Homo-oligomer: A and B are copies of this chain.
Amino acid sequence: MRILIAGVDGYLGWPLAQHLAMRGHLVGGIDNQLRRRLVAEVGSVSAIPIATMDERLSAFHEHFGARLRYYSVDLLDYDALANALRDFQPEAVVHLAEIPSAPYSMRGPTESVFTQQNNVLGSLNLLWAMKEESPNAHLLKLGTMGEYGTPNVDIPEGFFEVEFRGRRDVLPFPRQAGSFYHWSKVHDSNNIMFACRIWGLSATDVMQGIVYGIWNSTQSSDSRLSNRFDFDSEFGTIINRFCCQAIIEHPLSVYGHGGQRRSFLPIQDSINCMTLALEHPPKKGEYRVLNQFDRFMSIYELAELVRRSALHLGIDVQISSHANPRNEVENHYYNPDRNLLKDLGYQPQYDPDELTQSMMESLIPWKDRIEAHRNVLIPNVQWDGSHRTASKLNTKGNTA
């Protein structure tokens, strides 16, 4: 299949390109290297060093035989985007080209508006470009489980049947996101649902849990194929950040008392699930919503998991509660469905204890890199828009 990945330089895009190539697909990629610039702007680096895009493309060619056709394109540039689609003629487009950070989107008006501009308008350009240039291609779009928030009812996959005042309808499940970033994904979902309805585009909108883990290339001897691994408080996802904190014996920073429950999955599962969805596309005109996760846990359970795994490696790391910079409920009902991926054949197969332990083993060589950036481990963006480092809570929940 001819698969074009927007965001091919990212944490999910780069391993997905390799995985799809291994499976015999013809892969193209779009990126504008925004992620590299944003991580540099917050004063951080990928814990695991990554090669330049040119080096990555050379290595890809050497190891996978086929060239990865690369388009240096910003999705906000409609003409360049349409040209890339016209040139590549994709059968599927994977859209991972968004700013993925809740704290970045809450930093201030500039970052907030830029997040929605980049994500919502970029996706809208992509919808128009697909309609014009590749109307039969399947769009696989990365949303987030965070679109749903934490309603007091089960979370279905995108839609639910309700009775209201004696009448019934199947309606989009209401979204209650928790940051302007998460809302950008909701806006995308709405635009995509509409584009499928009026233009007959086919899309899979992936409500993905929080991804964690190190992705090891099947060609891992070549460091040019290494994947990025962020650990700063804006672009590092929580388990990855905890593992990096553990490595340098920095207390694991839980927001509030960690009762918040979220969905998670290892990066290997994310790549496998996206591949399953690509190889089993929806029918023409269908807007399909997948909830994509392995399990759900509370943030405190996560910290306990990482602490346990660290102990196995002889690292005794503390868990410390910080005043929650996010305005979110900490104790709530949480029960999302995960039926469609199961129907496609997804079986969670990784043990989080083993995974986090092996992650930390892989990170130990980069301990000094992490240590040199320890100031980015604690959030300094508050949901009220102020910029101050989250203070520690004492056992009574007051700031120390």
Kindly state whether residue A221 has any CB partner on chain B within 8 Å.
no
Which residues does chain B contribute within 8 Å of A169, judged by CB atoms? 151-153
Which residues does chain B contribute within 8 Å of A156, judged by CB atoms? 164
Which residues does chain B contribute within 8 Å of A400, judged by CB atoms? none
Interface residues of A in 94-144 (CB under 8 A from B): 108-110, 112-113, 116-117, 120-121, 124-125, 128-129, 131-132
- 16 extra A-B contacts, CB within 8 A, seeds A153-B165, A154-B164, A198-B327: A78-B109, A78-B113, A109-B124, A109-B128, A109-B132, A113-B128, A116-B124, A131-B385, A153-B163, A162-B164, A163-B163, A174-B174, A183-B187, A183-B194, A198-B384, A199-B384
- Nearest-CB distance from A205 to chain B (Å)? 15
- Nearest-CB distance from A164 to chain B (Å)? 4
Residue of B nearest to A165 (CB): B154
Q: Is the CB of B174 within 8 A of A183?
A: no
- Nearest-CB distance from A76 to chain B (Å)? 8
The CA-CA distance from A387 to B384 in the complex, in Å, is 46
Interface residues of A in 153-185 (CB under 8 A from B): 153-154, 156, 160, 162-165, 167-169, 171-178, 180, 183
Which residues does chain B contribute within 8 Å of A64, judged by CB atoms? none
Interface residues of A in 367-400 (CB under 8 A from B): 383-385
The CA-CA distance from A132 to B386 in the complex, in Å, is 10
- Nearest-CB distance from A324 to chain B (Å)? 12
Kindly state whether residue A27 has any CB partner on chain B within 8 Å.
no
Q: Is the CB of B175 within 8 A of A190?
A: yes
Kindly state whether residue A197 has any CB partner on chain B within 8 Å.
yes
Of B121, B132, B154, B183, the contact of A116 (CB 8 Å cutoff):
B121
Which residues does chain B contribute within 8 Å of A112, judged by CB atoms? 124, 128
- Nearest-CB distance from A260 to chain B (Å)? 15
How many protomers of this protein does the assembly include? 2
Counting from the closest, the 4 A-B pairs by CB-CB distance are A109-B128, A152-B169, A171-B174, A153-B164
Knowing A128-B385, A152-B169, A171-B176 are in contact, say whether A190-B187 is a contact too (CB < 8 A): yes
Kindly state whether residue A333 has any CB partner on chain B within 8 Å.
yes
Which residues does chain B contribute within 8 Å of A152, judged by CB atoms? 167-169
Knowing A116-B121, A173-B174 are in contact, say whether A153-B168 is a contact too (CB < 8 A): yes
Kindly state whether residue A310 has any CB partner on chain B within 8 Å.
no
Kindly state whether residue A191 has any CB partner on chain B within 8 Å.
yes
What would be 13 A-B contacts, judged by CB atoms less than 8 Å apart?
Answer: A109-B128, A113-B125, A116-B121, A117-B121, A120-B120, A152-B168, A154-B165, A171-B176, A174-B174, A180-B194, A183-B191, A186-B190, A197-B327
Interface residues of A in 36-67 (CB under 8 A from B): none
Interface residues of A in 318-372 (CB under 8 A from B): 327, 333
- Nearest-CB distance from A383 to chain B (Å)? 5
Q: Is the CB of A120 within 8 A of B129?
A: no
Which residues does chain B contribute within 8 Å of A129, judged by CB atoms? 109
Which residues does chain B contribute within 8 Å of A124, judged by CB atoms? 109, 112-113, 116, 180
Which residues does chain B contribute within 8 Å of A171, judged by CB atoms? 151, 153, 174, 176
Which residues does chain B contribute within 8 Å of A113, judged by CB atoms? 78, 121, 124-125, 128
Q: Is the CB of B186 within 8 A of A180?
A: no
Q: Is the CB of B198 within 8 A of A383?
A: yes
- Nearest-CB distance from A14 to chain B (Å)? 28
Residue of B nearest to A182 (CB): B194
